[in-house]
Amino acid sequence: MFIRLSNEITRDSIVDGPGLRAVIWTQGCKHNCKGCHNPSTHDFNGGFLMNLHEIEETLKSLKLQKGITFSGGEPFEQPLACIEIAKMAKQLRLDIWCYTGYIFEKLIDEEDTEYKEGWKEFLEYIDVLIDGPFMIEKKNLLLRFRGSENQRIIDVKKSLKNNKVVLKEEYYPVKEARSEYVAVKLVV
| Beta-ladder partners of 152 | 131
Give yes or no for residue 47 binding ligand SF4 (CB under 6 A): no
Give yes or no for residue 103 binding ligand SF4 (CB under 6 A): no
Give yes or no for residue 77 binding ligand SF4 (CB under 6 A): no
CB-neighbour burial class of residue 74 (10 A; exposed 0-12, middle 13-18, buried 19+): buried
Give yes or no for residue 131 binding ligand SF4 (CB under 6 A): no
Residues in 138-177 that interact with ligand SF4 by CB under 6 A? none
Question: Using an 8 Å Cβ cutoff, are 78 and 108 in contact?
Answer: no
What minimum distance in Å lies between the beta carbon of 161 and ligand SF4? 26
The residue range among 30-38, 53-61, 88-96, 156-164 that interacts with ligand SF4, by the rule CB under 6 A, is 30-38
Q: Which helix (H) or strand (E) holds 162?
A: helix 156-162
According to CB under 6 A, which one of 94, 133, 155, 156 is a site residue for ligand SF4? 133
Q: Who's near 98: CB < 8 A, 6+ residues apart?
A: 69, 70, 71, 75, 82, 122, 126, 128, 129, 130
Measured from the CB atom, is 27 or 88 closer to ligand SF4? 27
Measured from the CB atom, is 122 or 134 closer to ligand SF4? 134
Give yes or no for residue 32 binding ligand SF4 (CB under 6 A): yes
Candidates 105, 112, 22, 26; CA nearest to 69 is 22
Q: Provide the residue type at 13 as one letter.
A: S
The residue range among 18-26, 28-36, 115-123, 170-178 that interacts with ligand SF4, by the rule CB under 6 A, is 28-36
The residue range among 8-16, 24-32, 135-143, 179-187 that interacts with ligand SF4, by the rule CB under 6 A, is 24-32
DSSP letter (8 states) at residue 58: H
CA distance 16 to 47: 21
Question: Which residues are at the interface with ligand SF4 (CB under 6 A)?
Answer: 29, 31-33, 36, 38, 41, 72-74, 101, 133-134
